[in-house]
Structure 1
Amino acid sequence: MVTTTTWPRSLFMLLSIAQIITLSSINPTNASDTSKPQRLTAKLIHRNSIFSPYYNPNATVWELNQEALNRSREHMRYYQYRMTALRENVGLLDSSDMTLGLITSDAGVIFLASMSIGQPPIPQLLIVDTGSQICGNTSGECSQGKCTFNITYFDGTSVLGNIASEQLLFETTDGGKIPVPIHVFGCANTISGPSNSQESGLLGLGLSRFSLIRQLGGKLSHCFGDIHDPKYEHNMLVFGEGAVLEGDVTPLDTSRRLYSVSMEGISVGDEKLNIDPSIFKSQTLGDGGVVIDTGSTFSVLAKGGYELLHEKVQSVLDPSLQRITYSQEPGLLCYKGQVDWELTGFPAVSFHLAQGADIVLDTSSMFRQMESDIFCMAIEPSNDEMSNLSIIGNLALQSYNVGYDIDGGKMYVQRIDCELLHS
């Protein structure tokens, strides 16, 4: 049963809503087990997996990569817009006026979360994205105990609807179910704009005061395996005290409402590249820095770091492989051949984060097969509009569990098969 709720008008600028979105405060800990809280989990479904409504068994390698590049371009445009706004409106990030919307069209879909809502629970698919932020052009009003909202998202989609309360059903890793009351979520009744998505709505993982993560204790973890394998079924998202916070630890900065980390260098095999560490640091006016973004397929590096990595990869591959200019993406470093064959023995590439945490890229994370006989480095240079911002995308995060302790200011990285987290 859906019930309407009265909320102050200021709250509307702090919601992340499309058709079904954000949760409010609960206590997810299982009272019968004081030693270990239950894991509130949601299954993550990659866009191109057999479990996705977007799955196309006839899609070619070229088609899949064009979709992936288009989605990454959407996120790059989002960050360009965001960084430009930061430069031109210094200090506004702390205000509710300085908020930007999610990408609601299917161009922004990388992962979907499978969840159930309502009484009785009805299965839903929601867009998931740690890089997306809460919407800005938002308005709403409350009258006679009923509240409405009106949001314009980054891609131009407009959503109008009502604020309501309901119940969400979380899964647990032992196969159980935990019902959780939702005090605030958005029910859309009018959607206009470019959105043509097949999912029920958006699951906003932004960092505002009333975000899902904040209300569930400020902790979150996500794990996904080989995103090239359409049959992989162990990707997962975990909320609250049961989030998987294990492995190497590095500082997490959320002051820009982004998942920002400190990167201190890059190694190719045993050789640490001679990159000035200041290249990856956040600057006074908000420029630069490194963010984690599961919505981006490719990674993006500040030019000073990208150029040295580009040169090193060329020095390793040029003696034995044919470097080419790929007509579809002339800015990428590309070669003739297949990743699985030509790159046997290619050294691992490590992103060195502060306090000794590493994200290690093997060949399937470092390169992307673009066509049957062409592969490219899955890393691009940052541009002027992005203000030298670097992005660690989902290819680099394959086979990692990444945990976020927002209030503690820590991020955890652990290389693991996600299937092991279900036990």
Structure 2
Amino acid sequence: MATTMIAAHFFFLLICFVTIISSYLANVASSMTTPFKPRKMAIKLIHHDSIHSPYYNPSATISERAELAINSSLTRIRYLSKIISNPNDDDARSHLVPAIRGTGFLASISFGTPPVPQLLLIDSASDLLWFQCLPCTTCFKQSPSLFDPTKSSTYSNIRCSSPACSNSTAKCDPKSEYCIYKRTYLDGTFTVGNLASEQATFETSDEGTVKVPIEVFGCSHINRVPADGQESGILGLSYGNGDLPTPVKQLGSKFSYCIGNIDDPQYQYNHLILGDGAIIEGDPTTLQTDKGFYFVDLQGISIGEKKLPIDPRVFQRGASGEGGVMIDSGTTFTFLKEEGYVPLQNEVESLMAGILNRVSHPSFLCYAGNVEIDLTGFPVVTLQFSGNAQLGLDTNSMFFQLSAGVLCMAILPIIPEMNGESMIGVMAQQSYNVGYDIRQGKIFFQRIDCSVLESIV
């Protein structure tokens, strides 16, 4: 009898021990691989000219890099203007892939089970996440391995009967009953494929991973899009203009990015955070979303302590939606409506008089000199928004090196195609964390060195 009781007691202790160990192992596994949507998904951003970018060219001259940034920004501005003027025309969706090359950011994100890394262009003016998939009928070359849906246990095509299909501009394939998307761009190029759902894998700061369900993305099989063998597709950060569950909507309607010195190829702290854990700190101002774009309430500009004579109504949107000020992550330079640009130009010319010699340029205000040497002591130029939010542009954000002996102001007047809209580009956002809280209609500007945020990303 005593032996039986001892055995029963031992068996009970054994069961408790196994339960505790199983619970511990489950908790460890859960911390290493999280199957549900986390609060925060952090992604390293790789600038086009970074040493971490597949596009990095160590032999490129200052003039070549500047020319690429100028041409890319002007191309993107023209395309975005076409979208704004034709918001309900799907064929007017701009060809954003080449339009942000040379100025944009790349991110590596893994998709599928097992995970396969894909290199994506980040685009705040596009509302779709898409990348190339097998079978590729017509595809451009890319550096990562092509994604094979048949080898992923978590991939699923979206059926025609799904709300995701009806809420998008996709069509139904009557043979397969799957939803097929097509994006036709202004220059006649296009991308075609399946709308599908999949799982994305993000690394965490404690060397674990989180697995996030992606409700809708484009698995592209036909691409007549010019590319030169590096990225796989696009991660769109636009909130969208309809009911399509865009990546931002799927992941909590908040995101933030921090941008350091884009002229420093060694800088490695640029990052993007998606979800409720985005860094929403600093001074807020009004954020409006319209036609898939983000508009901010710019009210004035100052240089040092001097506020420029600019009527705040210059930057306001008209009754028909024309004008206003957009903020963009794919345009290098800032474009201002003439009534806002001319007072700024006049003040800069006044400050430069007798110090640097003017150099003729068809688009930019330029001088003979070096940004690092000849602009020491130049006052900070501040973009002032409602709610007392500010973007302070130091010399590296206000000017750029056009060539070894010529510097130019990184702000220029809008071009005729822009329909009165101003645009705040990446250079003006350097040394800031920019947080988007779309549901609250707020955008936050926090001046900071992005490396400080490394421990919490």
TM-score band, normalised by the shorter chain? 0.7 to 0.9
Range moving further from structure 2, 105-114 or 71-80: 105-114
Which residue number corresponds to residue 4 of structure 1?
A: none
Alpha-carbon distance in structure 2 between the residues aligned to 1:116 and 1:213: 17
1:158 aligns with 2:153: no
Shift of 1:100: 2.1
1:35-114 to 2 correspondences below 5 Å:
37=39, 39-85=40-86, 93=87, 100-105=93-98, 108=101, 110-114=104-108
Offset at residue 377 of structure 1 (A) = 0.3
More divergent stretch after superposition (96-105 vs 123-132): 96-105
Report the counterpart of residue 377 of structure 2 in structure 1: 345
Q: In structure 2, what is the Cα distance between the partners aligned to 1:176 and 1:399?
A: 29
CA deviation vs aligned residue, 1:271-323 (integer Å, no higher than 9, x gap): 00010110000001221101111110000001001000000000001221101
Question: Cα distance, 1:98 vs. partner?
Answer: 8.8
1:420 equivalent to 2:421? Answer no
Query: Residues 86-140 of structure 1, C-alpha deviation per residue, up to 9 Å, x if partnerless?
Result: xxxxxxx5x68597245123753511112111111111110101134569x9542
Tell me the TM-score normalised to structure 1 length.
0.85
Q: Distance in 2 between matches of 1:355 and 1:154?
A: 38
Cα pair 2:434 2:444 within 8 Å, conserved: yes
Residue 141 of structure 1 corresponds to 172
Give the corresponding residue for 1:182: 214
Contact 1:302-1:382 at 8 Å conserved across structures: yes
State the secondary structure of the residue aligned to 2:45: strand
Q: 1:205-240: per-residue Cα shift (whole Å, max 9, x none)?
A: 111231111111110101110001111111111011
Could you say what secondary structure the match of 2:77 adopts? helix
User: Could you tell me which residue of structure 2 aligns to residue 252 of structure 1?
Assistant: 287
Q: Is the 8 A contact 2:79 2:99 kept in 1?
A: no
Runs (4+) of structure 1 exceeding 6 A deviation are: none
Asked if the contact 2:334–2:427 (Cα under 8 Å) also holds between the matched residues in 1, the reply is yes
SS at match of 2:356: coil
Query: How do 1:218-233 and structure 2 match up within 5 A?
Result: 218-233=253-268
Residues 10-21 of structure 1 mapped to structure 2, 5 A cutoff:
none
Listed as ranges, the gaps of 5+ residues in structure 2 are: 1-34, 130-167
Are 2:37 and 1:28 equivalent residues in the alignment?
A: yes
8 Å contact from structure 1 (residues 106, 195) kept in 2: no
Specify the SS of the correspondent of 1:53. Answer: coil
The residue number in structure 2 matching 1:212 is 247
1:237 and 2:237 correspond: no
Alignment partner, residue 410 of structure 2: 378
Q: Is the 8 A contact 2:182 2:190 kept in 1?
A: yes
Question: What is the identity, as a one-letter code, of the residue corresponding to 2:298?
Answer: M
In structure 2, the residue matched to 1:322 is 357
Please show how residues 285-300 of structure 1 align to structure 2 within 5 Å.
285-300=320-335
Partner of 2:337: 302
Q: Give the C-alpha shift of residue 79 in structure 1.
A: 2.8
Q: 1:213 is paired with a residue of what secondary structure? A: helix
CA deviation after TM superposition for structure 1 residue 63, in Å: 0.5
CA contact (8 A) 1:174 1:422 kept: no
- In 2 relative to 1, CA 271–416 (structure 1 residues): closer, same or farther, beyond 3 Å? same
Hey, what does 2:199 align to over in structure 1? 167
Equivalents in 1 of 2:313, 2:229: separation in Å?
A: 40
Aligned-residue offset at 1:66? 0.7
Which residue matches 2:425?
393
The aligned counterpart of 2:16 is none
Highest relative contact order (Cα 8 Å, sep 6+), 1 or 2?
A: 1
Please report how far the alpha carbon of residue 422 of structure 1 lies from its aligned counterpart in structure 2 after TM superposition.
2.1
For 2:258 and 2:95, how far apart are their aligned partners in 1?
A: 22
Q: Which residue of 1 is the match for residue 110 of structure 2?
A: 116
2:390 aligns with 358
CA distance in 2, matches of 1:367, 1:406: 31
What's the CA shift for 1:191?
1.1
Looking at structure 1, the residues matched to 454 and 194 of structure 2 have their Cα atoms a distance apart, in angstroms, of 36
Cα distance change of structure 1 residues 410 and 230 upon mapping to structure 2, 3 Å threshold = same
Q: Rate the CA distance shift 1:235–1:185 in 2: closer, same or farther, 3 A.
A: same
Partner SS, residue 149 of structure 1 = strand
In structure 2, the residue matched to 1:131 is 125
Aligned to 1:404: 436
1:193 CA displacement: 4.2
Tell me which amino acid in the other structure corresponds to 2:43.
Answer: A
Instruction: Show the counterpart of 2:150.
Output: none
Partner of 2:152: none
Distance (whole Å) between structure 1 residues aligned to residue 67 and residue 36 of structure 2: 43
Cα deviation digits, residues 239-283 of structure 1 (max 9, x gap): 111100001111101134211010110000000001011000000
How many residue pairs align between the two structures? 378
Match of 2:409, as an amino acid? M
Distance in 2, matches of 1:78 and 1:103, equals: 8
**In structure 2, C-alpha distance between the alignment counterparts of 1:296 and 1:396, rounded to whole Å:** 10
